[in-house]
Amino acid sequence: MRLQKPKGTQDSLPQSSLRWQYLEDTARRTFERYRYGEIRTPMFEHYEVISRSVGDTTDIVTKEMYDFYDKGERHITLRPEGTAPVVRAYVENKLFAPEVQKPVKLYYMGSMFRYERPQAGRLREFHQIGVECFGSKNPATDVETIAMAHALFQELGIDDVTLHLNTLGTSSSRAAYRQALIDYLTPLKDQLSADSQRRLVENPLRVLDSKEKEDKAALVGAPSILDYLDEESQQHFSQVRQMLDALGIAYVIDPNMVRGLDYYNHTIFEFMTSVEGTELTICAGGRYDQLVEYFGGPQTPAFGFGLGMERVLLVLEKQDKGAKKEVPLDLYVAVLGEEANFVALALVEGVRNQGYVAERDYLGRKLKAQFKAADQFKARYIVTLGEEEVSTNQVVVKDNATRQEVKASLEELMGNFAAILEKFEA
Ligand code: ATP
Ligand code: MG
């Protein structure tokens, strides 16, 4: 047995968790401004919740599922994405009921699991922040949601993200385009990768998503979905573009973009950035107007996105943004002797209960080593607690930077630390 983390997983240590918190806090604050509420769904679902909704022939379902049978022979999968579970919860909890609350806006953060080949920005357990907006087919909802992702990147201080935009249109537009693509690719079949030859039969739009050189070459003269849009599809897409223009959000139209999931229609988008010369998608989403019905709810249009947290963190690290400072100590208590050991415990508890950050020595170290620890923890003030301090009930509070000292009783420390701090010269 190897006592090491499983392939494709990561530990986040306290220092790097600060950046995670920065990302999470910024997302929460941004989403609140748009009236989003948090939803938390289970980390695992019945296999069927994911398989058909995400798409039986998508890579996520055919290759990447972390599924297993539990002790009750139930077919379970760790969730590979957040939208299907949220839609399942939306329907199961009848969140569609109160008309007056529409649209219903939900966000989530958490682990997702995909059995992928681990590499930079590609893990087996990774984390997403995602949002889903239910109940509006207005193109303004598409644009509001895209604008919210855009606002988040601005809040985070991430520059150089590019918005890529496409539409998949209505299902009849998509069917017409699908046929045109089949007609175009079938004579070129032998030039396609093995995966794409299979996709051509099962799910031809997926060929557009291929990263293989030979597929990209074969696609050079392929028809564009934009030439197959019906009236309704064209109108929705042109309104989305006009609204983005009105908000001053730049985008490029990428007619070859399809998403890794099958449930989308109309608008789809990705925010891309480059990390060390490679293009990475850090946020992706779109409109999905049929999924709520598929889960047994009423016809409910919806729009959402998922954002890969590890990839955003890669960018934040590269751009050296969002490294929150470690929390400094307000007070460090140096401890000498058996009796002081007892009193010190009550002392730091008393100070912490007043809302301050306090720490003490537990290891019975020499005073010099304790002061070193106080420096390491960036303690603002230090108290040394020995037999004499305990018996006289008096301590000296010392400013660790200026060396200025103020006398205080143990009761004052535990009852009103603020009053002691006021006695220090500014
Ligand atoms: P890709 O084409 O890169 O495989 P995808 O289409 O599978 O992406 P989505 O399912 O749309 O990705 O997931 C949304 C976001 O989640 C991605 O843009 C990416 O930032 C992140 N993501 C997806 N898979 C992984 C992974 N294995 N490890 C880390 N982040 C991931
Ligand atoms: Mg993928």
Quick: pLDDT tens for 364-373. Answer: 999 999 999 9
Report whether 383 contacts 399 (CB < 8 A): no
Q: What count of other Cβ atoms lies within 10 Å of the Cβ of residue 288? A: 26
pLDDT at position 243: 98
What was the pLDDT predicted at 239?
Answer: 98
pLDDT band for position 319 (cuts 50, 70, 90): confident
Q: What is the pLDDT of residue 274?
A: 85
Q: Counting atoms of ligand 1 from 1, which one is nearest the CA of 116?
A: 27
If one counts every other C-beta atom within 10 angstroms of the C-beta of residue 25, the result is 13
Residues 199, 188: Cα–Cα separation, whole Å: 13
Residues 66-125 have pLDDT tens digits of 999 999 999 999 999 999 999 999 999 999 877 888 999 999 999 999 999 998 889 999
pLDDT of 261: 73
Q: How far is the CA of 261 from the centre of ligand 2 (A)?
A: 9
Cα–chain center distance at 64: 20
Confidence of residue 47 (pLDDT cuts 50, 70, 90): very high
Nearest residue by C-alpha to atom 8 in ligand 1:
260
Cβ contacts of residue 144 below 8 Å, gap of 6+?
34, 133
Ligand nearest to the CA of residue 259, numbered in listed order: 1
- What mean pLDDT, rounded, does the chain reach? 94
Location of structure tokens 């049929």: 290
**CATH of the structural domain 331-425, one choice from 3.40.630.150, 3.40.50.800, 3.30.450.20, 3.40.50.720:** 3.40.50.800
Average pLDDT, integer, range 213-236: 95
Element (H, E) at 286: strand 278-287
Name the CATH superfamily for 14-170+243-318: Bira Bifunctional Protein; Domain 2 (3.30.930.10)
* Residue 305 confidence (pLDDT): 98
Angle, CA 60 vertex, CA 57 and CA 63 arms, to 5°:
80
Burial degree of 263 (CB within 10 A; 0-12, 13-18, 19+):
buried
Residue 383: pLDDT band (50, 70, 90) is: very high
d(Cα 194, Cα 200) in Å, to the nearest integer?
10
pLDDT of the residue at 121: 81
Say what the pLDDT of residue 426 is. Answer: 63
pLDDT at 202: 86
> What is the three-class DSSP state of 285?
strand
177 sits in which H/E element: helix 171-185
pLDDT (0 to 100) of residue 1: 64
Rounded Cα gap, residues 59 and 100, in angstroms: 39
Burial (CB < 10 A; 0-12, 13-18, 19+), residue 407, is exposed
- Residue 134 sits at the vertex; the CA angle it makes with 272 and 299, to the nearest 5 degrees, is 120
In angstroms, what is the span from residue 9 Cα to ligand 2's centroid?
16
The segment(s) of the chain belonging to CATH 3.30.930.10 are 14-170+243-318
Quick one: tokens of 297? 């709810």
Q: Which residue's alpha carbon is at the smallest distance from atom 29 of ligand 1? A: 122
Q: Is residue 187 reached through a cis peptide bond, with omega within 30 degrees of 0 on the bond before it?
A: no
How many angstroms separate the CA atoms of 285 and 265, rounded? 11
Residues near ion ligand 2 (Cβ under 5 Å): 260
Q: Is 274 helix (H, G, I), strand (E, B) or coil?
A: strand
Pocket of ligand 1 (CB under 6 A): 81, 114, 116, 121-123, 126, 128, 259-260, 281-282, 284, 306, 308, 310-311
pLDDT in tens, 2-13: 899 999 999 999
If one residue of 83, 86, 111, 112 were mutated to test the ligand 1 pocket, choosing by the most ligand atoms within 8 A of its CB, it would be 112
Strands, E, within 316-368: which ranges?
331-335, 358-360
Q: What is the pLDDT of residue 114?
A: 97
Q: pLDDT tens, 125-175?
A: 999 999 999 999 999 999 999 999 999 999 999 988 999 999 999 999 999
The alpha carbon of 275 and the centre of ligand 2 are apart by a number of angstroms equal to 18
Q: How much of the chain, in percent, has pLDDT values that exceed 90?
A: 85
Q: Which tokens hold the place of 30?
A: 């941004």
Instruction: Please give the average per-residue pLDDT across 19-47, as a whole number.
Output: 97
Q: Where in the chain is the domain with CATH 3.40.50.800?
A: 331-425
